[in-house]
Chains A and B, each alone.
Chain A
């Protein structure tokens, strides 16, 4: 399992990359991070996985 530690929180990067940024922010909102921080964590998770894995596409606004 790929992990990313951000602000002391260890995130499951494989799982994070499989969902949208919006879903990630909502799911992990209980940690007390700001929305911007959660978006940053999600971005780090997506970029940490191997190139062979395709991250979930962000939903169109």
Chain B
């Protein structure tokens, strides 16, 4: 019979050789995706699942949003809270939470695209310079090795900076992204990783939004639709017609009217208009004529999955509401 609890304080302190450890972060992706054990069965399968999650349409619960490549890391982890009684030893009262500040080089448009993440709590997966993806091992009904979901670590993000440079210090003018981990237990006890030797930060690019607009007033059931990339610079229009106009015309578009735009309106043809650098979208004239004046028509472009199948990668196109 033992007279103390010393043998029960902890556990064995050995570990398998050559295991991974958190290295220098290069990128992270934010979102609610939880990878199943099938998806992380091996590096190639996980890599495909990661890219698929990035290419999901905006609004999909499993979508992941890549952040820019990190060029500087500052460790701003909270100091532990210490305390002691007057005659007693110093004790740690509370562990400090991990906090990291990342510096990134961004265009004004890229910075504006990140602002929706400023001040939000979101799960993230971090990709380090050892090609390791870090997240946390979520508990499953049976807490069995390699069956738990691989989830992002919950953090609080702030986005700031990207102002004028001072001409003397390289650190000025950059954007700073602060990542504060919300749970030290998740970070330490549940932290886990998967190695993806074939991945690099350049593989992880966020989708570019394409906006649809009417090029000119429509002629009855025939509409001219332009697809452009919104930019911050005045007097500049990035029309994607030359690059992907024909490919877009060949894909399937849909249209609807009524409540939630649930009543289909047949599109009879889509053609390219080289003069206007637009698409000519024609609706069934019989159905169109039957609509009341002022009826709203939602024109829905191909989704990201269809775009990729049509060899149009890296973009997501928003719908447009037209008026009869």
Contact = CB atoms under 8 A, between A and B. Distances in A.
Interface in B267-320: 267-272, 280, 282, 284-285
B270 A8 contact: no
Interface residues of A, number: 14
Nearest to A16: B268
Interface stretch (B36-44, B107-115, B180-188, B245-253): B245-253
A5 B268 contact: no
A8 B249 contact: yes
A10 B266 contact: no
B222 interface: yes
A24 B252 CA distance: 20
Interface centre among B252, B266, B269, B282 (most CB of A within 10 A): B269
A25 to B, nearest CB: 12
Interface string B255-272: 000000000001111111
A3 B250 CA distance: 8
A28 B252 contact: no
Contacts of B251: 10
Given A1-B252, A3-B252, A15-B284, A28 B246 contact: no
A34 to B, nearest CB: 15
A31 B272 contact: no
Contacts of A28: 268-269, 282
A61 B284 CA distance: 25
Interface string B221-253: 010000000000000000000000010011110
B284 A8 contact: no
A30 B219 CA distance: 10
A28 B271 CA distance: 11
Interface centre among A1, A16, A27, A28 (most CB of B within 10 A): A27
Given A10-B250, A10-B269, A31-B269, 17 more contacts: A1-B252, A3-B250, A5-B250, A8-B246, A8-B271, A9-B271, A10-B249, A10-B270, A12-B268, A12-B269, A27-B282, A27-B284, A28-B269, A28-B282, A30-B219, A30-B222, A30-B282
10 contacts: A1-B252, A8-B271, A9-B271, A10-B249, A10-B269, A11-B268, A27-B268, A27-B285, A30-B219, A30-B282
Q: Which 6 residue pairs across A and B have the least CB separation, nearest first?
A: A9-B271, A10-B270, A11-B269, A12-B268, A15-B268, A10-B250
